[in-house]
Structures are given as structure tokens and as C-alpha cells.
Amino acid sequence: MENKESIQRYSLFIMQKKIKMIVVAYGALGLMILFFHYSCPFQSLTGLPCPGCNMTTALYYFMNGNLESSLTYHAMLIPTIFCFLLLTCFYCMDLKKAFNFLLWVWVIGMLVYYIWRMITIFPSIPMVYDLDSLLGKAWKVLTSKI
């Protein structure tokens, strides 16, 4: 009986440690975004919007109660929040199969939504090309008359 209790205490200790690590990681990410004005590396290099582009704007509108604008900027925000919370729970409870399955479902959903947005919306707002990207600037140099 004592062995079973020690295993349960150890499992609880590990779960609490994982939760603390997650809270610290989320807090650090939030502070980085707040103080260093995070910019999408994919869009900064290529000029093309990435699959997560406009997710922050969608979150802003969602947090302010404007669901229509939130869905306009990125309709995968709400499923992403839901998946994110479930993935955190699965991670803490060591449910690796459920974690991996849900993660793949989310990745495939994001890619399908991204392709749909690139076909139907790009290059209109909110899926615009960034002319100040590295490739955009290189293109300007290569195509300008010297």
C-alpha cells in the first residue's frame, strides 16, 4: 500500500512540475511579445503570410467581444485555444497518444485553412504580401534599373 501511495505522490509531483514549467514558458512568451514586439519570422523573410498570421489580431478582437472581426482575421483562433488547453492537459497527464493525435489534427486543420485562405483571400486584407520582407527587398533590388 505504501508503494502505491509513493507512486501517486511522485506522479502528482511530476504533474505539478510540468504545470509550473508551462506557466513559466507561457509567461516568458507573453513578456517577449509585449516587450520585443514579436514579428513573424516566416513573413519577415518571404513576405508571405504564415498559417498563423493575424491570429494575434483575431485574439485581440475576441478578447474585446467582437467575434465577427475575430473570425474574419483568423477563424482557427477558437479551435486553436481549445486544442491548446486540451494539449496542455494531455501533456500534464502523460496522455501521449491523445496528445499526438490532437496535435496532428490541429496541424492538418491549420494547413488546410491556410491553403484555403491563400487561394481565396491572398493578396487581399488580411492576407497581404509584406514588401519590406527580405525577399521583397531583394526583389526590388534585382528588378530596379541601375
Choose among 47, 97, 106, 43: nearest CA to 76: 106
Confidence of residue 27 (pLDDT cuts 50, 70, 90): confident
**Is 33 inside any structural domain?**
no
In tens, the pLDDT along 64-108 reads 999 999 999 999 999 999 999 999 889 888 899 999 999 999 999
**Is 59 inside any structural domain?**
yes
pLDDT at site 44: 84
**Is 13 inside any structural domain?**
no
**Is 32 inside any structural domain?**
no
Is pLDDT of 1 > 60? no
- On the question of a cis peptide bond just before residue 79, with omega within 30 degrees of 0, the verdict is no
pLDDT at site 37: 61
Range of weakest confidence among 14-18, 87-91, 113-117: 14-18
Model-level pTM? 0.72
**Is 8 inside any structural domain?**
no
In tens, the pLDDT along 35-66 reads 666 677 888 889 999 999 898 889 889 989 99
Q: How many domains does the chain have?
A: 1
The whole-angstrom separation of Cα 144 and Cα 122 is 25
pLDDT at site 110: 96
The residue to which cell 513559466 is assigned = 24
Domain that holds residue 133: 39-143
